[in-house]
Structure 1
Amino acid sequence: MTTYDHNNIFAKILRGELPCSKVYENEHVFAFLDIMPRSPGHTLVIPKAPARNILDITEEDFVHVARASRIIARAAMVAFKADGMTLQQFSEPASGQVVYHLHVHVMPRYEGVALLPPASCKEEAKVLEDHAAKLIAALKGL
């Protein structure tokens, strides 16, 4: 397994070097909308700790990611009137991981509607802004 790359895109987002549509943050985790969502409200939850994936994150840091993923999932169910929720985490290239900072995908789902293929369409900034506002409002209601 390769070591953690401190210049990966999510590390740059955490340092404020790249923009994102932030929806949630605490001292341990950061959550923002995926710019190529597979469903409306597709959110990425990442640890603030430098971890390549589930194979090298500490148990304590992963618990914070799991807890935040649950919070985001519950809010997204309300914000996007979803029928269900898919959470995914990929570790290493064979699994499909392409950004080497641990992240959990939280994706609202709807009966009879398939997820878009990964990285198939970059969402417009205004749509992401609207989705972030919906999710933030739902988080305040929890």
Structure 2
Amino acid sequence: MRSSSSEEESCVFCDIAQGRTPARVVWRSEDVIAFLPDIPAVVGHVLVIPTRHARDIWDVDRGMGRNLAEATRLVASGVAKMAGTRELNIIQSNGAAAGQTVFHLHIHIVPRATGDRIPQMWPPDAVWSQDNLDEIAAELRGALAQ
């Protein structure tokens, strides 16, 4: 699904990428920009976005995906040095049900510490049978082969 031009025109992250809205930019290339969110979850929380509007992962081609991955690793390295930890989350959400609130693809780099203010992300009570996991793996292999 390609994003619409009206969506791009009203996109706050496009405004940041194009310099129309100020941001605390920490790193930039031609295709990717990294900046602090207005309300970071913790010290060192950074957002990495493509400078071209992409609504979500489905709007990203291979080249942009590669550029985002390389930029994310580079920025994560800087975050780790600044925060004094290599423990971090890299989070990218697609769609409202997944928690996406700004519909311009963005990657959160969030340094972590035991007992920090961020809740656990996966339920500790999830239980799956081995047969069920085997079925899911087979279904996914089929979907990836198409």
- Which residue in 2 is equivalent to 1:79? 82
Could you tell me how far 1:3 is from its partner in structure 2?
2.6
Which residue of 19, 37, 41 maps to 1:38? Answer: 41
**Cα deviation digits, residues 82-104 of structure 1 (max 9, x gap):** 25010000111111111111100
Please state if 1:11 is matched with 2:37.
Answer: no
Q: Give the structure 1 partner of residue 61 of structure 2.
A: 58
Q: Distance in 1 between matches of 2:73 and 2:55?
A: 21
Q: Quick one: which of 99, 103, 121 aligns to 2:102?
A: 99
Determine whether 1:69 maps to 2:60.
no
- Quick one: percent identity of the two aligned structures? 33
RMSD between superposed Cα atoms in Å = 1.6
Q: Can you list the C-alpha shifts for 1:47-79, whole angstroms capped at 9, x where unaligned?
A: 112210101111210111111111111111111
Please give the TM-score of this superposition, normalised by the length of structure 1: 0.76
Instruction: Tell me the equivalent position of 1:48.
Output: 51
> Unpaired runs of 5+ in structure 2?
120-146
1:101, 1:76 → 2: CA distance? 22
**Cα pair distance change 1:78/1:100, threshold 3 Å:** same
Q: Is the 8 A contact 1:49 1:61 kept in 2?
A: no
Query: Aligned residue for 1:24?
Result: 27
Q: Which runs of 5+ in 1 are unaligned?
A: 117-142
Whichever structure has more helix as a proportion of its residues is 2
Aligned position for 1:112? 115
Distance 1:57 1:42 in 2: 23
* 1:105-129, Cα deviation, whole Å (9 max, x unpaired): 001111222327xxxxxxxxxxxxx
Normalised to the residue count of structure 2, the TM-score between the two structures is 0.74
Partner-residue secondary structure (3-state), 1:65: helix
C-alpha distance after superposition, 1:16-39 (max 9, x if no partner): 111100000011100000111111
SS of alignment partner, residue 43 of structure 2: coil
3-state SS in 2 of match to 1:55: helix
